[in-house]
Amino acid sequence: MNSPTLAVITTPVLLIVGPTAVGKTSLALSLASRFDGEIINADSRQVYRHMDIGTAKPSPHEQQQAPHHLLDILDPDQNFDLAKFLSLARDLISEIQGRERLPIVVGGTGQYIWALLEGWNVPEVPPDAEFRAAKLAEAEQHGPEFIYQQLQSADPTRAAQLDFRNLRRVIRALEVHHAQASQPQTAGQTSEGLAHSLIIGLTMDRTQLYQRIDDRLDQMMIEGLEEEVRALTALGYVPGEGPLAGPGYRELGEYLTGIISLDEAVQRTKFQTHRLVRRQYNWFKLVDPRIKWLAGAVPDGVSDLEIEAGQTVQNFLSDRACYGTISGDSSQISDDMGTR
RNA sequence: GGAGGGGUGGGUGAGUGGUUAAAGCCACCAGACUGUAAAUCUGGCGUCCGGAAGGGCUUCGCAGGUUCGAAUCCUGCCCCCUCCA
């Protein structure tokens, strides 16, 4: 199936993280072409078709510069979540490594990134729409405390981790408990994470970033964001629901139904995107030693990047990639190799 | 020139004698997060001291006044808006 001398013992994965609009896409493209990489999207909204402008999805032209994955895989009324991301991304990483190419995970969805990296073991309880609707109705009747109390008696450990007002989380915890009453939901990290990875974080002065966001939205409007939302509506998707609850889609939807003016919609979208940035920095902390932060705009077409004093991406990759030099236990990886 | 309306914290906007450092919303800052995560939720947000409880100081156009007490009442001044000339 595979020759032992070609077995990949350790292969690196590159991750590019950071807030929206810092320039992750263009850095990813440079690195992909420099290091023979394939890009895996880790953005919860770019997975959707018909949502191109508003999600700042890489353009067709950009997508031609390197293989891209997890883009345009679903329609906006289909559900995408952490579990799906993990299973797809994990498979893709293996495949790409199998081709002896470099997987480059790029995205601003912190939960996805860390789950992948740390090997989170999410409870295998799929969403249950009926259950959720029922609990939501209960909460409306009796208030959030009522639901929270149910969780307190069902799974006190989990309850202690949640704010009683965060209905969505409380209901999910109950849902999990409901489905697997025998074993309470507990955080686990038993799956394999990414052992040999380099996380590059892109950051920028906050004020400057907000300015970039505002400018980029103005540009999106010129490029036809309003039309994009209209088209989505025409296809039967509802702004404000599902992935269309994100910045731009929700606000423009309110504009199209006459609730707010266009100017208002644009301004609100800018502000909402600023908020998004703040939340993203909660996942990607500047003090996190795992992330190699690069400040400011990274020039296009870099041939190599200095990650920290004396270390470059090139060094990192050659240090970690040990093709066929060690003959240890590589059974798991060999399986993946077989798929190529 | 005349008749009205109005000036409140970064913005908007409540508040018409004490329980008001002044609601709510926005902006901004910080945080939580293990199957919706660009979502959901929480805290902070005049200023100084304090770990905190709490305390001090300065705020509601400006200047005076009434009152035990004023963003709130009175007087004058400045500015803005609408309408009539």
ipTM field: 0.87
Percent of chain A with pLDDT over 90: 74
Beta strands in chain A (DSSP E): 13-17, 37-41, 68-69, 102-106, 197-203, 291-295, 306-308, 311-312
Q: What is the pTM of this model?
A: 0.86
**Mean pLDDT across A141-159:** 93
**Mean pLDDT across A258-277:** 96
CA distance A156 to A145: 14
Residues A15-56: tens digit of each pLDDT: 999 999 999 999 999 999 989 999 999 999 999 999 999 999
Q: Is strand B less than 7 A from the beta carbon of A185?
A: yes
CA of A36 to C1' of B15 (A): 65
Predicted pLDDT of residue A297: 64
Least confident among A38-42, A112-116, A329-333: A329-333
User: Nearest nucleotide by C1' from A45 CA?
Assistant: B38
CA of A271 to C1' of B21 (A): 27
- The candidate with the shortest Cα–Cα distance to A253, out of A273, A272, A226, A223, is A226
Which residue bears the tokens 């731009």?
Answer: A248
pLDDT higher than 90, residue A113: yes
Q: Which of residues 295-314 of A touch strand B (CB under 7 A)?
A: none
- The candidate with the shortest Cα–Cα distance to A174, out of A125, A140, A137, A121, is A125
Phi, psi values for residue A293, rounded to 5°: -85, 135
Residues whose CB is less than 8 angstroms from the CB of residue A273 and which lie 6 or more positions away in sequence, other chains included: A20, A21, A213, A217, A247, A248
Q: Which of residues 64-123 of A touch strand B (CB under 7 A)?
A: 79-84, 108-112, 115, 120-123
CA of A251 to C1' of B28 (A): 21
CA of A43 to C1' of B11 (A): 33
Model confidence band, residue A330 (pLDDT cutoffs 50, 70, 90)? very low
CA of A199 to C1' of B29 (A): 26
CA of A264 to C1' of B25 (A): 14
Q: Which residues pair with A312 in a beta bridge?
A: A306
User: Quick check: helix, strand or coil at residue A190?
Assistant: coil
Q: Is strand B less than 7 A from the beta carbon of A163?
A: yes
CA of A252 to C1' of B81 (A): 32
The better pLDDT of the pair A245, A34 is held by A245
User: Nearest nucleotide by C1' from A118 CA?
Assistant: B34
Q: Is strand B less than 7 A from the beta carbon of A171?
A: yes
CA distance A57 to A269: 17
CA distance A153 to A134: 19
Model confidence band, residue A194 (pLDDT cutoffs 50, 70, 90)? confident
CA of A215 to C1' of B70 (A): 47
Predicted pLDDT of residue A159: 94
Which nucleotides along chain B are within 7 A of a protein C-beta? 26-42
Phi-psi region of A133 (alpha: psi -120 to 50; beta: other; left: phi over 0): alpha
Q: Is strand B less than 7 A from the beta carbon of A243?
A: yes
